[in-house]
Amino acid sequence: MASSAFTSPNITVIWTAFRDEPPVSSNAKLILTMDGLVLQTEESKHKLIANTTSDEPASFASILDSGNFVLCNDRFDFIWESFNFPTHTIVGGQSLVNGSKLFSSASETNSSTGRFCLEQRDGILVLYPVRDSRQIYWVSKLYWASDRVHGMVNLTPGGILQAGSADATQILARSSYSVKSSNETVIYRATLDFDGILRLYSHHFTSDSNYRADIEWYVLQNQCLVKGFCGFNSFCSNPTNSSTKGECFCFRGFNFINPEMKFLGCYRNFTDEEGCKRKMPAEFYKITSLEISQLGGMAYAKLSVNEKDCSKSCLNDCYCGAAIYANASCSKHKLPLIFAMKYQNVPATLFIKWSSGQANLSTNLSALPIVSKKHGDNKKKLVSVLAACLGSITFLCFLIAISSLLAYKQRVNQYQKLRINSSLGPSQEFIIQSFSTGELERATNGFEEELGRGCFGAVYKGSICEGNKIVAVKRLENPVEEGERKFQAEMAAVRRTHHKNLVRLLGFCMQTSKKLLVYEFMSKGSLENLLSNVESGPIWRDRVRIALDVARGITYLHEECEVQIIHCNINPRNILLDDSLTAKISNFSLAKILMPNQTGIVTGVKGTRGYMSPEWQNSGLITVKSDVYSFGVVVLEIVCCRSNFEVNVSTADVVLLSTWVYNCFIAKELSKLVGEDEEVDLRTLETMVRVGLLCIQDEPNLRPSMKNVILMLEGTMEIPVVPFPILSNFSSNSQTLSSAFTNTD
């Protein structure tokens, strides 16, 4: 089903339902029901196209002159309209609210979802490839308004594309045409075309059935300026210098995935495996140079060498797929190569590595040489050696299994003894005690010594068991409803946990509106205070151990507890330390308990700024990967003994910790992150940095699980290659902070 503007000779589609599904037959029917509009196909399948969101049933459906397809109740009120669910086009009178998106079509003849997206963000339009929202290639003009966050972008019936709010309006595009004849009708539309370019069109209809369509405005003139117009491992170029049409070409050593659809990109026609096994990869590879204007993505290494050494460095590096040389700097890139463009100005040279022919993927298997007898004898010897090794490994595994079984039985016996010894009542170590208000007032001497304060309330030092046990009493001081909610959340989460890296809950009090929780006392205070102490900060060995302690505590919450718990507020202030600097996680007031069938929760509650994952900030979605993100920020703070955001620094690029760490990581200058006089194991330093950068990836699926984080920190699991830095953490924030930093000076 689609709404369209009838033109001659073609039909211009402006809205589509089920655009990614195959077309239905001509025998399909549209049925208006009380619940909405239903599509009935020949296979008797019913698909709900438009459902009513109100309690009132739909009385009729109509397509308005504006092109808006609506469902109405018996009072002619709109209860559903297609204008609220745009696909790739908006027409005159239609608006895009904050967060709305348009998706291009797959091609000029295929209206399914394509490769590019237009998004309205706070009254600003941004364009980016669907596969990577970080790679923005066009942004509309910025307008300033006090309520810009509630701004709208709309196309007026007169052909004006504008962004506006209550107190400001910014014209983005305006039609140059004015209607001069009463017998002519002009309809305007703004469409994100298949090539990723937003264009403003005017359609002219006259009473004598004449018709024409004009392009009034476009965001980009050259298709090659669209990031992702050509796919992986290809580059975009214009057939002639004056042409605005882009054409995709494969780099040498690559073939088109689909020659009929060149924009899909290219694949390598040889394998790296054989070349990288050799001591001299140069015997297997060759280098071809190409003049190029730009190459997207982040280089994994940058060298200050001449052009010849740049080519040689890539040739002998198995990780290098290409190197770009410009301004006496050599940047090496891994595959796939993205957003490459060859334009009129040629400021750089690109070195492409390709096979000299020994391991082409198209090699005919029948042409491979027969293995000689000598090789056969060697193979027999190899099999014998492997058999002996496998036998030894099997025997070793058997011994480990027996040892584990014996250890398990011993632990079972210990638990049985514990139950026998506890026959008169629960063990004091595992019980949560209920206190009265008076008892806790006496325990804290009238809440005299305050240990710390936060948005939840305050923590006081006290003693119980006739003064023999020091405790920390947490008093929630929020408004009644919010305080009750946080109290219940913290009780629900903490009472189910018992782990050496979690602060243990000893008791509670529910007699007053200000709820009280009693925790074990942590003598060394918070990790935040420890890291900020310039004179007596933790030594490197202790910092590594603290990071592992925190990781083990989070892993317990995610995978080992009787219920899965998301802490939602991992930050240095909520990590406490005892006499031996053992780190323990505290403050479960924001914690969420997942049901067995849940993987995440959508919430309007916000955590601590700087430690919240992007998906939590943008959509309110919380998963275990939200805690992983927070842990990544904490790890980088532990490494550098500083907070995530600091203004009182010498240069702007050091303000945001993640940006500084990544820059030092790329430049192989990790020693800058730690003190000059400090004894630091550089291998462990690199491990900590790589794990931290992996944990703060923008995409949740790229973040490791906390269980794997522990394995990587302990050195028993290989650390994946750190992906390109996320835009929100490394690019846009850095630019904004840089500007703010400059203005401050």
Alpha-helical segments (H) within 307-457: 307-315, 373-421, 437-443
743 Rama sector, left if φ>0, alpha if ψ -120 to 50, beta otherwise:
alpha
Residue 617's H or E segment, with its range, is helix 614-619
Q: Are 298 and 722 in contact (CB under 8 A)?
A: no
- The three-state (H, E, C) secondary structure of 464-527, written as one string: ECCCCEEEEEEEECCCHHHHHHHHHHHHHHHCCCCCCCECCEEEEECCCCCCEEEEECCCCEEH
Alpha-helical segments (H) within 290-372: 307-315
Q: Are 33 and 58 in contact (CB under 8 A)?
A: yes
Q: Annotation-wise, does 524 bind a ligand?
A: no
Tokens coding 381: 């010897």
DSSP annotation of 650 reads S
Alpha carbons 21 and 489: distance in angstroms, whole number: 44
User: What is the SS3 assignment for 416?
Assistant: helix
CA atoms 559, 563, 564, 568: torsion sign = negative
Look up residue 58 and give its amino acid: A
Residue 739's H or E segment, with its range, is helix 732-744
Q: Are 83 and 68 in contact (CB under 8 A)?
A: yes
Within 8 A by CB and 6+ apart from 475, the residues are: 447, 457, 458, 459, 460, 514, 515, 516
CA 281, chain centre distance (Å):
36
Q: In Å, what is the CA distance from 453 to each residue of 457, 459, 571?
A: 6, 6, 15
Alpha carbons 317 and 281: distance in angstroms, whole number: 8
CA 29, chain centre distance (Å):
41
Alpha carbons 704 and 697: distance in angstroms, whole number: 10
Alpha carbons 554 and 706: distance in angstroms, whole number: 7
DSSP secondary structure, 137-161, as one string: -EEPPP---TTGGG-EEEE-TTSEE
DSSP secondary structure, 529-591, as one string: HHHH-SSSPPPHHHHHHHHHHHHHHHHIIIIISSSEEE-S--SGGGEEE-TT--EEE---TT-
Q: Are 247 and 279 in contact (CB under 8 A)?
A: no
DSSP annotation of 273 reads H
Which long-range CB contacts under 8 A does 607-615 form with residues at least 24 apart?
Answer: 607/568, 607/569, 608/569, 608/571, 608/573, 610/571, 610/644, 610/645, 611/569, 611/570, 611/571, 611/644, 613/700, 614/698, 614/726, 614/728, 615/700
| Number of helices followed by number of strands (H, E) in the chain | 14, 43
CA atoms 485, 487, 488, 494: torsion sign = positive
Query: What does the radius of gyration of the chain's CA atoms come to, in whole angstroms?
Result: 32
Phi and psi (nearest 5°) for 603?
A: -140, 155
Look up residue 131 and give its amino acid: R
Binding residues: 474
* Binding-site residue positions for ATP: 474
